[in-house]
Structure 1
Amino acid sequence: MRVLGFMSGTSLDAVDMAILDTDGETLQAFGPAGERKLTEATRALVLAATEAAKSWLRGAPEPAEFAPAAEAVAREHFAAAQGFLESYGLGWKEIELIGFHGQTVLHERPTPERSGRTVQLGDGALLATLTGVPVAFDFRTADMAAGGEGAPLAPIYHLARAQASGIARPSAVLNVGGVANVTLFSQSADPLAFDTGPGNGMIDLLVQARGLGRYDEGGRLAAAGRVDQAVLAGYLAHPFFRQPPPKSLDRYDFSLDAVAALSDADAAATLVAFTAEAVRLGLDAATERPKVLIVSGGGRSNPQIMRAITERAGCEVVAAEAVGWRGDAIEAEAFAYLAARTRMGLPISFPGTTGAPKPMTGGRIVEP
């Protein structure tokens, strides 16, 4: 199938798009990839929905902010893809399936007392109507209903991509988005995957909260600061880091309160160190230390994050492009691949990636 995959991360920066030719198992061809920045109007609606989600009690009616945000996300993705396809001389008739992740506004991992809860806003039926193409969406709900973490979901694609590239094991793929997640490949065991800790998200929130822009461009703010070791130790004392994988996080699971008294530069430097130390702890969970760590996502464009991870990883650290991958498109490619697996009835989550009780299918498909 020729599948268009979408991803819009918790950084609320852009809609990422990528086209794959795949049967949900092998990767036949890579089509074009691109992005379009989110409009301020959609960003505002999603931020309002995110704030409402923070105080949404279980069993209570869905917040009123969800529906307009879901419609706006669908229309935003349609507009982004319309221009994207036209720029490559393609039309909707050449796309057989769409993988639509939607916009995460809530992610609560399961605990022994309760199941998890996750919300990705995006009107799949509206997107199918606008495009005339079947849409696979709602990829996380079934896994969480079965007791899984609902995240990360990209590992099965990381495996296919690594196999297609002939990446030798032991190795690992690290995606640094709002939250960072790692997929570990050993020579003898099934892949192990989990969220390691914050990625770019806390740094973005810090910069935005202090009126310094949308993100720390080029890592310049962090480069001028010094790590506060006491604050870093406090963050790393969080019980999340003592829990065994698989495990998942929400972008807001860690507060900026601990860096409130620090200067802008010192706060940014400390949060970079937090991201990197969390990655180190994640790699320590591997049954075999990876020989190479392949880094994708927006975080690989921050030199300070890459430097800090390289110092701590205990293995070679390379950006995705060094092995011929499209570092900004991996997540969009992944949801194209997951859409194909959903169409073919293949599992998308596994005991070693989300803690699901068995390999599980997931996602729903809505026809135009």
Structure 2
Amino acid sequence: MLGSSKGTRPAAALACVLMLLVTVAACGSSDKSEAGTDKPAASTDKAFPVTIAHKYGSTTVKSEPQRIVTVGLTDQDSVLALGKVPVGTTEWLGGYKGAVGPWAADKLGGAAVPTVLKDTGTGPQTEKIAALRPDLILAVYGGLTKAQYTTLSKFAPVVAQPKEYNDFGVPWQKQTEIIGKALGQEAKATSVVSGVEADFKAASAKNPAFAEAEAVMATPYEGIFVFGSQDPRSRVLTDLGFALPADLDKVIGDEFGANISKERTDLLDTDAIVWIAGDPAKDEAQLHKDALYGDLKVARQQREVYIEETADYGNSVSFVTVLSLPYMLDRLVPQLAAAVDGDPATKVPAPAA
């Protein structure tokens, strides 16, 4: 379920790229090129140029971008929330048209559906990205290597993942703010972030039990994979008021998540646990067969939330973006409220349609 941009480089395609380099030179690297020059009527030059720091230094966007490619696996949602439609997106989950989930589809308006860059195993699809003639490449929610960053910078300014977070660990607020700055939409980014933060505050106020409870998010992937405090999924829980297990990051290390040993199954014995499961009924039965897990209080009292990872709801939980979060909160909050209501007889309801 965890992805990265991937691609291949056959000789013929690479030859095409070399020719494309000539035609896209105007896009160039962040140090040498201008972005697109055709600006919509509502735009302003006052926001540009902007310089954005990231893991590999900094990138300057000289003018308002018009042909945006998102290499970051969820960056398209921030772009759409800010009124732009990417020309290219990178597919991660769901197999959605244009790699745009149902929580974001209305933001396309009448624009062309983005070209989808597939995830094939060896990094960004360089040739396809070049063919899209981008004037900005976003890789904020991602894990670009230095070599990949350098290659992509030949085509357009590249905004890589911020250095202060793990790869694939940038908070949704920071992701939206970074992309807002790159698009010259800092004020709008602040506004849409504030709107979603207000949704979290309202949910927390309505459910004060969240602030007195501990929770964790996990998936039965090759055993038990638990998400750490730097993963956006875990931040959903803490933003709602929950505490995470005290030893969680100590066990996981400097990663967004990790498989835990059976000896550390105790990390799961929280007031509520959210399972992102391939087959919820099957996975629940399998987990409860394991005495180490089945004997935990959280399991015995069925304070578990099972979410089908390939359903729209499950995809929204993994996306954790400014557009997917309201969709997700409508479904997750009632389930968590039932899990921590103090009555073991309360069944966690099915998610809202």
TM-score normalised by L of structure 1: 0.31
Q: Which structure is richer in relative contact order (CA contacts within 8 A, separation 6 or more)?
A: 1
The structure with the greater share of residues assigned to strand is 1
TM-score normalised by L of structure 2: 0.32
